[in-house]
Amino acid sequence: MTSPSDLDTTFTSHAPGYWPESAMEKWSDHKWQLRNRIDSLADLEARINLSDEERAGVLLAGTKLAMAITPHFFNLIDKDDPNCPIRRQVIPRIEEGWTAPEELADPCGEDSHMPVPGLVHRYPDRVLFLVTDRCASYCRYCTRSRVVSGVGEQQLETQWEAAFKYLEEHTEVRDVLLSGGDPLLFSDAKLDKILTRLRAIPHIQFLRIGSRIPIFLPQRITPELCAMLKKHHPLFISIHSNHPKELTSEVQDGLVRLAEAGIPMGNQSVLLRGVNDSPEVQKALVHKLLMCRVRPYYLYQCDLITGSSHLRTSVAEGVNIIENLRGHTTGYAIPQFVIDGPGGGGKIPINPNYVVDSSEGKVTLRNYEGGIFDYPDPTRIPEGEMKALQEKAICKTC
């Protein structure tokens, strides 16, 4: 059930929250935030009331995907509500230990499209460059839980020089997306070096970074970082926010700083049960994103990640959300609902069915209110009338 706090559209700070006032002296230091992440059962139990399912999940977490939560993000958690939409995203639950028959270790088929370790080439003109296996905090529905955090089934072993050589040789590649893990965890100097190397390849037209750092660790979005990124335009950043509560005043400041550096941003949400699976929460989220100068880009059906059945919704719920946004808010606020085809099929757009009937000469459509409209196919100009128009035009020049 949606609570009033789920629909809050104000931008506020939650600091110091679970931390003492003395912590505010270092609160804006992203390195302090990383050093003080919540990463153990003792840390959790000292601050919030865990359910039995969560306690068991934390004990099992080290065998699949590590737990780590930045103080900034942890402050958004309701300490007494196990159904809090923030804690469902980052605190492990016992359900993660069960694998449904349809679930896959590599649901997007990245390993089978990896010509060089760390480089995924699934689409004709663009590649995914996995540059790190670490994040500021770890989402329990992580698509790459097999390699992220250092405790998964595999190790990410990116071969940097081989990857750059592949990109230099494959002139069809015009777009490179840096992801992982989270590239913005790198120092400014290291990230600058990677972007500079990619910019030196003539046929690469633009670069993208996928990051949840602006949400988990907004303190990282410094003026110095933005000045460095600005050197590498055209550069785009895809952020990842799932719930309006995540968009605090600190997050807004960081996102606006990136926008002022000329970086276009899109948001990628994952549809999650008990987190954002209602039209009301989604509308509050997309409205706050626009106020942060971020365009809602994708709403993903949750991938078939091992141990994710308790977080996945039906596809119909995603379609219903789009149905309740289209026509009911500005078009800029409406993301594209997509499913990543299991096993490597790529992003497949899913939309409500607005075509009622299609026959020769016309298409029958319905609008967001249920109104029915016929749209006729173009009528060809009869040959005789075309000739008359030509003669009329000639007469005008006489």
Q: Is 55 tagged catalytic?
A: no
Q: Which backbone phi and psi does 174 adopt, to 5 degrees?
A: -115, -5
The Cα angle at residue 108 between residues 104 and 112, in degrees rounded to 5: 95
The CA distance from 138 to 301, in Å, is 19
Catalytic residue, chosen from 88, 93, 126, 212, is 126
The CA distance from 83 to 201, in Å, is 48
Residues across the chain: 398
Q: Is 133 tagged catalytic?
A: no
Catalytic residue, chosen from 108, 142, 226, 292, is 142
> Does an H or E element contain 208, and which?
strand 206-210
Q: Is 292 tagged catalytic?
A: no
Q: Is 192 tagged catalytic?
A: no
Catalytic residue, chosen from 123, 174, 192, 273, is 123
- Is omega for the bond preceding 234 within 30 degrees of 0, making it cis? yes
Q: Is 87 tagged catalytic?
A: no
The CA distance from 177 to 38, in Å, is 29
Catalytic residue, chosen from 144, 245, 283, 312, is 144
Question: Are the beta carbons of 136 and 370 closer than 8 angstroms?
Answer: no
Collapse the DSSP code of 331 into the 3-class scheme (helix H, G, I; strand E, B; otherwise coil) and give the result: helix
Q: Is 395 tagged catalytic?
A: no
The CA distance from 106 to 90, in Å, is 20
Tell me the CA distances in angstroms from 160 to 132, 148, 166, 197, one per residue in order: 11, 18, 10, 11
Q: Is 144 tagged catalytic?
A: yes
Catalytic residue, chosen from 43, 87, 106, 135, is 135
| E strand segments, 231-321 | 235-239, 265-271, 295-301
Q: How many CB atoms lie within 10 A of CB 254?
A: 24
Catalytic residue, chosen from 87, 298, 303, 312, is 303
Catalytic residue, chosen from 79, 295, 326, 347, is 347
Catalytic residue, chosen from 55, 79, 122, 230, is 122
Residue pointed to by tokens 């607005």 = 354
Catalytic residue, chosen from 108, 139, 226, 292, is 139
CB-based burial, 45-54: b 16+ in 10 Å, e otherwise: eebbebbebb
Q: Is 277 tagged catalytic?
A: no
Question: If you write DSSP's letter for every residue of 1-63 in order, what string do you get?
Answer: ---GGGG--------STTS-GGGGGTTT-HHHHHHT-B-SHHHHHTTS---HHHHHHHHHHTT
Catalytic residue, chosen from 6, 43, 133, 340, is 340
Tell me the CA distances in angstroms from 215 to 110, 212, 272, one per residue in order: 25, 5, 17
Active site residues: 122-123, 126, 135, 139, 142, 144, 303, 340, 347
